[in-house]
Structure 1
Amino acid sequence: MIKFLLLLGVALVPMSAFLSEFVEKLFHGEESDVFGPVARIPYSDLLNNNPYVDPFVLHSMKHYGFFYVVDVPGYNASTELNLMHKFYDLPEEVKANIEIRRHNPANPNAYRGYCPGLDDVENTLQYKNLYNIGPHEVRAPMTSQKDDDLMKKLRYDIQEPNVWPSTEDCEFDKEFKETFQEGFEIRRNIARAFVRSISRALEFPELTSLFAEDEFSAMGLRKYPVRKRVNENMYSDHDDTLLRELEHVDSTITVLTTFNNPGLQMLYEGVYRDAPVSDNGFIVNIGKLVDDIIDNQLVSVKHRVKETEFDRYSITYFLGPQFDADISRSMSGAMTEAGRKYTIFGEWIKDYLGAIELFYY
């Protein structure tokens, strides 16, 4: 433990019983495990801006690219998973009522709602079912209908309200909506607290102002059905492993729930290694767009999901900068990769949303 604290740069002053217990909660992995030293941060300590959290978060993000949030009061991952099973077991004609308009042109919702997956079930690597939830339940009326005011229209579009399942089972409908509204808030709290933590740790006080709003934060309930056939498109270019989810780096801030499902792998020292499951907590990682803004001080970890022999469920939450956030310059003033084409996040997400509406990744 002392050796690990020295690596973090934590001063070795006499610790109170409270602090000693706190440190043990943050670090209790096996040192022989590659990901044993990855931090496991109690939810309340992260949200309460406890300064002892920051070096542990920073160490994990610099060395591994992710950390865990645990001990979330009132949260039950099993409840979410059971509701996901019930939702995906609903008849397709019921789910069609909340499909995105790409799949059901009769519906106005483009981003929020149910996406039954791509059409080519057997040949695409990205085959998944997705139900997408956002931060808005209602939307303010559009103040301008000018055809040339594209950014104002986009501001309106990204406030698309959620659509929720409506079945003959009113108790299910109520529990589903309330559970995932609460789950959305928990994940948003985690992502914002993470921004505050790295803002303190990296001494970038301006960073938090970029995330004051979250107009297009999104939470996706994902189901990856078992495939009946595989083909060469499903194998990794890195090591020929058969994949369920392609190798990729995220763009913004991710709060991930894998439940007790194995399969997630993180790239570490050139090798994809199994990441411990989130269990009753969450996995947090950072994406390339945000990492560029903080001068690439952290690791935007490349990750993937290897093929599994069962229907795999997960939940992903993404927090991006606010609409007007300047993403063209990093905290040190250097031009970011996104800055070669965009100035504010709204311009960046305009193209990203276009891709989602076409392909819904």
Structure 2
Amino acid sequence: MAMLALTLLIGILAVPSSAFLPTIVEMLSPMIEADQVFNQVPNIRYTDLLNDNSHIDQLVLHAMTHYGFFYVVDVPDYNAETEMELMTTFFGLPEDVKADVEIRAHNPANANAYRGYCPGLDDIDATLQYKNIFNIGPHETRAPFFDNSLDDATEKLRYDVQEPNVWPNTDNCDFDKEFKETFQAGFELRRGIARAFVRSISRALEMPGLPSLFTEDEFSAMGLRKYPERRAVNTNMYSDFDGELLRELEHVDSTVTILSTFENGGLQMLYNNEYKDAPNSGNDFIVNIGKLVDDIIDNELVSVRHRVKEVDFARYSITYFLGPSFDADISRSMSGEITEAGHKYTIFGEWIKDYLGAIELFYY
């Protein structure tokens, strides 16, 4: 179940010293033609972001206010090809093997509601849910027992969302081991990027209280996604915005998103009221922010609207979402204003309870 005048960055950033200029220039992609505007989206080095090097904060802020996303590059010990190969192998397994890790909506014999395999809807009328997802969360062991005799939907959800991951159990032990270890590491890698991004934005916007909302991440989720090739097309698959044939609905995310598109094209971002192709992530990561979190920071950033246009191949991607802690107060922004969610909810757990009830698959 994710969404700006063309000006050269050097001319508008307040640079603290001449020594900083080469660092900014080096981080920028070289092409600045108007028809390739996203080649200007900043590249932020992984080590600079994770080490809280404050000299990149204004660059991150520029990316998020002008484009709504940026790229994290030069990630040590990360190999996108390995993730792609493992995803391709998993989704190519026989359906009866994958059924062992299906969520209970598809396999009632399984306990998990959110973490596990979600088969795509094999129906040409399922226009924008035509994908298969394997969802991974932060927990490997079950949370403490919840007393089901208690009539408390919020506390039951607090228990339910801490369900443990499930992992493929095939006749290939080497594959099973590599799949689990690779995506456990991939989850931690993306979580680290998302939290470092929150810290960077909190410094850039002078909102020191922001990171405290993300001390826990009970609802964080990483989805391995396969969009199969379509066998047919119907009129419901075309965008109401511009008539483009779509694989994924135009939307804005809710939380913090770390996206891997590998070398799979199709992702488009809205820029100056026009959808433009976003460069593939390759061995890097795309970072964007969702509406719920943007409201908390007084809408200082762009929660970019995005979509996936139709492509003529099976498309793979990985999305990681970092949400606030269960008990994080989302009712007011950093400046004290009532947020959009705050008209109905106080804590994130209340919001996510309704959100999960409104969607069939766990991706937010």
**What TM-score comes out, normalization by structure 1 length?**
0.95
Aligned position for 1:10: 15
* Offset of residue 122 of structure 1: 4.5
The one-letter code sitting in structure 1 at the alignment partner of 2:10 is L
Q: Distance in 2 between matches of 1:72 and 1:29?
A: 20
The one-letter code sitting in structure 1 at the alignment partner of 2:64 is M
Higher normalized contact order (CA 8 Å, seq sep 6+, divided by chain length): 2
Which sits farther off after the overlay, 26-35 or 129-138? Answer: 26-35
Report if the CA contact (8 A) 1:326-1:345 is conserved: yes
Aligned position for 1:42: 45
User: Is residue 2:320 matched to residue 1:317?
Assistant: yes
Deviations 1:80-99 (A, max 9, x none): 00000100111100000000
Unaligned runs of 5+ in 1: none
Match of 1:100, SS? coil
The one-letter code sitting in structure 2 at the alignment partner of 1:139 is R
| Percent of aligned pairs sharing the same letter | 69
Aligned position for 1:221: 224
Match of 1:259, SS? coil
* Offset of residue 143 of structure 1: 5.0
Aligned position for 1:255: 258
Deviations 1:53-77 (A, max 9, x none): 1011000100000000010000000
* Offset of residue 37 of structure 1: 2.2
* Offset of residue 227 of structure 1: 0.5
* Offset of residue 6 of structure 1: 3.8
Aligned position for 1:178: 181
Report if the CA contact (8 A) 1:266-1:275 is conserved: yes
Unaligned runs of 5+ in 2: 1-6
Aligned position for 1:329: 332
Deviations 1:297-350 (A, max 9, x none): 000000000000000000000000000000010011111110111100000000
User: Is residue 2:353 matched to residue 1:350?
Assistant: yes
Residue-pair matches, total = 355
* Offset of residue 119 of structure 1: 4.5
Alignment of 1:1-361 (within 5 A): 4-11=9-16, 13-15=17-19, 22-32=23-33, 33-142=36-145, 144-356=147-359, 358-360=360-362
Report if the CA contact (8 A) 2:143-2:163 is conserved: no
Which sits farther off after the overlay, 118-127 or 25-34? Answer: 118-127
The one-letter code sitting in structure 1 at the alignment partner of 2:170 is T
Report if the CA contact (8 A) 2:39-2:279 is conserved: no
- Indicate the RMSD between aligned Cα atoms, in angstroms: 1.5
The one-letter code sitting in structure 2 at the alignment partner of 1:305 is V
Deviations 1:121-153 (A, max 9, x none): 444222100000000000232254443222221
**What TM-score comes out, normalization by structure 2 length?**
0.94
Q: Distance in 2 between matches of 1:79 and 1:269?
A: 36
